[in-house]
Structure 1
Amino acid sequence: MHIPAIWLWVGVVIVVALLIGQFFRKPGQVAWVILRNIVLGCLFVFAVNWVGSYAHFHLPFNPLTALTAGFLGIPGVAALIALKLWIFTGN
């Protein structure tokens, strides 16, 4: 089944609008949650790289991977690992 790109963009716009709305309702609380998630994401990526060093596996450390790991948590880290193994098998 193929999903047209417009529906993906509509979904992204809705999620961003909801996040912006939450930020303006409770700016301090939302900023704290975002900061906490970014730090946890960094720690998750560092943990994967530390454990992966024994198996010669490395996730790139950049804002996108840290935000993905922080926002989605353990499933996000699993998704990053799966994408790395599935798409970038030659690296």
Structure 2
Amino acid sequence: MPSPHLLLWTGLALMGVFAVVQVVRHPGPVFWWMVKSAVLGCLFVLAVNWVGQYVHYHLPFNPMTAMAAGLLGIPGIAALIVLHLWLYA
């Protein structure tokens, strides 16, 4: 029986190959989807900072937080807030 690590890495490799194939086959829609996600992520982070100024909370604004917020949406924002509070409390 294959080890669980082998199965995990095989699954991740297959997902990576699938993502690359999609980008190569349809570069336009994937590019615009990434741009839309980044813009929404920026807006989400700015909204958190705008509301956070009343409770003295600031979420760092950088490309990583914007992309995480854009790709994951509201759960991504919640995860960023929890991680920020956990790591920098």
TM-score (norm 1): 0.80
Matched residue type, 2:65:
T
* 2:26 aligned with 1:26: yes
Give the match for residue 64 of structure 1. 64
| 1:9-41 per-position Cα deviation (integer Å, ceiling 9, x unaligned) | 766654443322211121111111000000000
Structure 1 segment 41-56 matched on structure 2, within 5 A: 41-56=41-56
Report how many residues are paired: 86
Q: Where does the alignment leave 5 or more consecutive residues of structure 2 unmatched? A: none
Q: Which moved more, 1:22-31 or 1:39-48?
A: 22-31
Equivalences for residues 4-19 of structure 1 within 5 A: 13-19=13-19
Q: Secondary structure at the match of 2:23?
A: helix
When residues 10 and 25 of structure 1 are mapped into structure 2, their CA distance, relative to the original with a 3 A threshold, is same
TM-score normalised over the length of structure 2: 0.82
